[in-house]
Structure 1
Amino acid sequence: MSAGTAPTRTSARPTPMLEMAGVDVFYGPVQALHRLSLTVAPGEVVAVLGGNASGKSTTIKSALRSVTPSAGRMWLAGEPMEGMSTPDVVSRGVASIPESRRLFAEMTVQENVLMGLYTQRRRLSGRQVRERLAEAAEPFPRLRERWTQLAGTLSGGEQQMVAMARALVQRPTMICIDEPSMGLSPAFVDTVYEVLTAWKAAGTTMLVVEQNAHRSLELADRAYILQNGEVVLAGTAADLRGDAAVQRAYLGGAA
């Protein structure tokens, strides 16, 4: 277990799905990330943990290129990400489940899920679109009952299911997930993590930003802990669950 500070890319290991090396991000004069380095291997679930203003969401935004680092390097499946836009990243198979879901409230559940195919629909036949929709809805029986209901009338947990289905419909190579349990009842948190666990078993690559350390460390293979935009601990999820400092700061007790 160590702080994750790897300023240069190495080539003696399999190509990561995502790699960030020495990344700095600023919002005006405020530095949100300080030489952040992390990797996400194909088929791996990586969690990024930390409190408010720790840089967690900025990490996801950097991976999706919705913010542009001022320093450092990034690669997506071995391809340099300099000059990539968010649509470029999405077109390469990266899906997003954003914080607060960000649905179109005046559109139906089905229409919101279809938005996940926005960059692909010209390449898909009507039959293929229907197949994708059926696949995306399959983990969420409740959505089928609300397929024609306006998304803005759903509960927070149901809206999270729509956001997850919208990502799944893309058949993504990687999913970036920002605060999947935020604002949800315990029952819906259980449902969300049951689905994420099933995705993991199917080999889905995921980068998960979370404040719920218990659930994310149960799900993840590895994790990074951020404070003030810096990686202060990194290691396997099992090692971090057993770390006394992590126990005290994030898990409510001592190891």
Structure 2
Amino acid sequence: MIRMGFHQYRRLLHFVLIVLGLQLSAAGLAQSLTFGLFGRLPDALTPTAEATLPLGDFTLEARLQRNALGIGLASALEFSALGRLSYGVRAGLGFAGWGVESRIGGTFGPVAASLEAGYSSTLRSDLWVGDEALGGLRVGLLGRYRLGPRETLGLGLGYKRNLAGLASGSGELSYALRQEQTYTFGLGVDDSRLYALLGWRGELDEAGTLLEATLRAGQYNRLETTLTLPLDEELNNLKLRLTAAYPWAASLGVEAYRFRADASYDGGFSLWLRYTLSFGGTE
């Protein structure tokens, strides 16, 4: 009886979200609705759904997968030419546990900064398949200071305490120089592992093909690249994302015409397919 009740409750959650999303889209209220299917070997497939809904000056976000439901609320304040402040909170509840997180960030003149903090009683990937497979407390601070039209200093600080009570910290200092291309140099430490940072961003041809690449190498190794190719005059792009790290882990993402596919390996293989519907003139 307990197992039967569990499956009935899960199917009811799926049905409620699908009906709600279709009603919102039919009424023209939803900004976007994303349906997906996530699979991780040898686990079963997990249907996923995400929806955004404007509520006055706020935006409501809802996320559902097989064993968890998430709700978020976000907004922003504009200060004309002075800058912009954005903030939000999000909570997730599932059969494996719960989690809550908040963020605030803004740009004021030459300074840009953001602060994120969250806690989960289980792995965050149990509450949403796109999140990292870590639980416990997480705090992160990112900042940038524009030295001039072509130079920017960056600072990143992080603190984590996992579910076993083990704590770790990270820090990164970077310098970016923008000419025809943007070059980034820096140094960082991640849980006592030192690394150097090299980055490059620029257009590859006259059509506007854009490549962004960031390499962290040393005791911590990670490569992140994004290739953006214009597809048509309606501003549709093809995006290819590749991330590789050592100890061995990798992910590959493809996105075009509201379709997105992400494949990854981190000791096991997973695949996430998604399609997004946009309403009310939003893209």
Same fold (TM over 0.5): no
What TM-score do the two structures reach when normalised by structure 2?
0.30
Larger relative CO (CA 8 A, sep 6+): 1 or 2? 1
Greater percentage in helix = 1
Larger relative strand fraction? 2
